[in-house]
Amino acid sequence: MTITELTPPSGEPLTLAETKVHLRVDGATEDSLIGDLIRAARQYLEQATGLVLISRTFRLYLDDWPCGPVIQIAKGPVQSIETVTVCDAAGLPQDLALADAILDGQARPARLMLPTRPVIGRQINGIEIDFTAGFGEAGTDIPDTLKRALLLHVALLYECRGAVSPDSQPAAVPAGYDRLIAPFCRRGL
């Protein structure tokens, strides 16, 4: 199973203005750095939780159908399934009808049930599922706890800015960060 991002986020979960207020920064001389730190903190949080903060489109590649009736999608929350494409015996892509598909996009991981499962004609990446995931288009759609975690993380990264280059961020995680994101992390048995 491989997931690739098809469209980048239209923005970041934190605005430059609200982040600068949190950091108590005036002026515009470090706006570029702060923007880079916001992006690094978002990417870190998304990696740690499996969440997608700002909505965007992804593609899930599968080699074969799962053993059970449910296809699990690790990124979430899943808003919609755009297309399900299966390579037929001739290797040609065929889009499946999604009218009777069932999606539980809020589950962790999200779950998709399809009414039919055609034979796959390609052994590697024979199934492609395009889906939209995220809390919404703007930072106001994201739970406040996650935004607080992001602000704390950006503040710590900003304090470390002289010791660690922006390309090597995140350099550290602030105290209490793990407690803030814990309710959003997936736990395995």
Extents of the domains making up the chain: 14-51+141-184, 56-133
Give the position of tokens 């430059």.
16
Ranges of beta strands (E only) in 69-141 are: 71-73, 78-87, 93-95, 102-104, 110-113, 127-133
Mean pLDDT of 64-93: 92
Confidence of residue 1 (pLDDT cuts 50, 70, 90): confident
> Which of 72-76, 84-88, 89-93 has the lowest average pLDDT?
89-93
**Which is nearest to 77 in space by CA: 141, 124, 128?**
141
**Which is nearest to 154 in space by CA: 74, 42, 59?**
42
Question: Which pLDDT score, from 0 to 100, does residue 166 have?
Answer: 58
- CATH 3.40.50 given to domain 14-51+141-184: no
User: What is the percent of the chain where pLDDT is above 70?
Assistant: 93
pTM: 0.87
Report how far residue 2's alpha carbon sits from residue 179's, in angstroms, rounded to the nearest whole number. Answer: 29
Question: Helices marked H in the chain — which ranges?
Answer: 16-23, 31-49, 144-159, 177-181
Report how far residue 56's alpha carbon sits from residue 126's, in angstroms, rounded to the nearest whole number. Answer: 23
Task: Calculate the alpha carbon distances from 23 to 138, 174, 184 in Å.
Answer: 21, 14, 25
Mean pLDDT of 105-114: 93
Report how far residue 147's alpha carbon sits from residue 38's, in angstroms, rounded to the nearest whole number. Answer: 11
